[in-house]
Amino acid sequence: MLTIAEIGQAHNGSFELLLQYIEVVSKTGVGAIKFQTHIAEAESSIYEPFRIKFSDQDKTRYDYWKRMQFTQEQWIEIGRRCKGVGLLFISSPFSNAAVDILEKAGVEQYKIGSGEVTNFLLLKKIVDTGKPIIISSGMSSYEELDKAVSFLKDHNANVSVLQCTTSYPTRPKDYGLNVISELKQRYNVPVGFSDHSASVVAGIAATAIGAEILEFHVVLDREQFGPDVTSSLTIDETSELVKGVAEISEALKNPIDKNDNSAFSELKNIFEKSLAVNKNLKEGHILTFDDLEGKKPKGYGMDASKFGGVIGKRLSKNLQQWDFLTENDIE
């Protein structure tokens, strides 16, 4: 199971805060950390309408992307820090120019945001790097995903697909957990779950039904500013999720054979019951259901499961209350 902590814009344009995220996230047990690489001039324009007045700090969304940028030297340092703490360095580029920056920074894997699934220009640029690629399916129909996955496979890409719902935060009825198995059957590639629920439960549930990759947003403080804050896990929740996912993954790797209970032989002898009588009974008494009790341990009387075979049988000797009932006690 690959667990990916998505930082996204949680750094709010602060390089120092981003470096702090790397350090803190490395202590949660996740395997990878993911960023977004923005170059405003290359990916956007003044005509971009989305959330134009969403913050007091930025006049336009374009200005926001400018503030989210880092220099080439900073990205190189980001890559160095990730590897220094043992985290797989992943990022989502939103332009071909961003790919060039990430290649120089030593990115190890690429994530395709759901808005880029139809951007075959970007897909080709990333394919040519030879790095593994993860596609998020959030806004895509199967028709669009089919084309993207086919394009990547035709170019011999190492591709994985994530079920994702582009809704922040995602409600349980919108998780789309059923899509995980559909994606596996449809594409025969590793499949995972990109979570925006701000819930530990969603990731654990996805793991239990077969997700092989788990991506989730992480934030230091849910009171801070940012578009993904309400959809993110805290650091403590991230640690809890990683622990839960590890336990579920181990369980899935070790299926139980209910045909073989040999491991419980000793316990079965302790806890299973032998037949006994629940009152003083005379020789010649014909046993009824109401004369019987099951008592621990097994092996001192007939198995309690065989009670039907003694009903209607006659006792061959006197028995005291709570005596075990053996085959020698009946005619």
Asked whether the predicted pLDDT for residue 319 surpasses 90, the reply is yes
Tell the residue number behind the tokens 């897909």, with chain if given.
123
Q: Return the number of other C-beta atoms located less than 10 Å from residue 64's C-beta.
A: 24
pLDDT of residue 76: 98
Domain limit, last residue, from 227, 253, 279 = 253
Domain region containing 119: 2-253
Domain limit, last residue, from 253, 286, 316 = 253
Question: Mean pLDDT throughout 238-259?
Answer: 94
- 221 and 280 share one domain: no
- 234 and 302 share one domain: no
- 34 and 127 share one domain: yes
Question: Mean pLDDT throughout 88-103?
Answer: 98
* pLDDT tens, position by position, 275-311: 999 999 999 999 999 999 999 999 999 999 999 999 9
CATH of the domain at 114: 3.20.20.70
pTM of the model: 0.84
- 198 and 286 share one domain: no
* pLDDT tens, position by position, 187-226: 999 999 999 888 899 999 999 999 999 999 999 876 666 6
* Number of domains observed in the structure of the chain: 2
Residue 5 neighbours by CB under 8 Å, 6+ apart: 25, 28, 30, 32, 33, 34, 216, 218, 238
Percent of the chain with pLDDT over 90: 78
* pLDDT tens, position by position, 250-269: 999 999 999 998 888 899 88
CATH of the domain at 279: 3.90.1210.10
Asked whether the predicted pLDDT for residue 56 surpasses 80, the reply is no
